[in-house]
Amino acid sequence: MTAANRTRPHFLELEAFRRSVNRKLWVTMAGLLVVALVSLGVALVAFARPMPVVVLDGAGQPVLFEDTVTPRQRMERVRVEYFAGAFLKQFSAVDSTQVDEQLEAVVNAMTPRLRRIFLSDESEIARRRKHANFNLKARFEQLKYRIGDFDPEDADGRIYVVATGRLLFRPKVGGMGADDDREMVQHYYAQLVLQRVPMTRESIHGLQVDFVKTQFFDSADDLEVHLLKEQDG
């Protein structure tokens, strides 16, 4: 040990150690601050980007929209088809265990005008509520759409849709008797008039139903005849 080290007061050594620790703490805090600022910047960039919007097409496949602004202003045919199919499923594909839920979904998808007309028809509401006693479940098969021309940029426009297909009925629980695997088939025809509305939590597709008419046919030939009459008319 040198003479200088022997005569150096102990409090000076402690002070030097304290300063060294403080410097290390300040460097560490500065590093953490830089990391926090970088993380905040990355988060702000992520929040600034439009959130993806996912809808499903007619085949049930997801369709991704990276831009959430354009869908509010421009209507795409895939959205029209998806909304029409979802509405018709609730409107016509009876599920005896989901009667109230289906009725609520149907009413919520209607314009105020059609909603008043629909709810004022007490016989129709009573008929639908009786489905709860039927032990019945229906599903669509081969549902196809014909969508009339429309202006994608017209935020107040109306869109005309015709849907055709097959609606298959079978018991919700159990079989149909001697032939348990058999399903009752009805050929299906629907006309819809859709009204474009602002996109909200209640109207996430920017569409509501302003007119609906459905018909059932016993055979594909009967449905085809009806379609030909509609075209001639």
180 Cβ contact partners less than 8 Å away, ≥ 6 residues apart: 174
Measured CA to CA, the distance from residue 3 to residue 210 in angstroms comes to 100
Strand pairing class (62-65; 136-147): unpaired
- Domain limits of the chain? 53-173+181-232
Q: Domain 53-173+181-232 has what CATH class?
A: alpha beta
What pLDDT, on a 0 to 100 scale, did the predictor assign at position 90? 94
Measured CA to CA, the distance from residue 182 to residue 19 in angstroms comes to 87
What pLDDT, on a 0 to 100 scale, did the predictor assign at position 7? 52
pTM of the complete model: 0.66
What pLDDT, on a 0 to 100 scale, did the predictor assign at position 178? 46
Over the chain (233 residues), the average pLDDT of each successive run of 10 is 52 68 82 86 68 57 55 81 94 91 94 95 91 87 92 93 93 61 85 93 90 94 88 69
Contact 170, 183 (CB under 8 A): yes
What pLDDT, on a 0 to 100 scale, did the predictor assign at position 116? 96
What does the H/E/C string look like for 67-112?
CCCHHHHCCCHHHHHHHHHHHHHHHHCCECCCHHHHHHHHHHCECH
Measured CA to CA, the distance from residue 138 to residue 122 in angstroms comes to 23
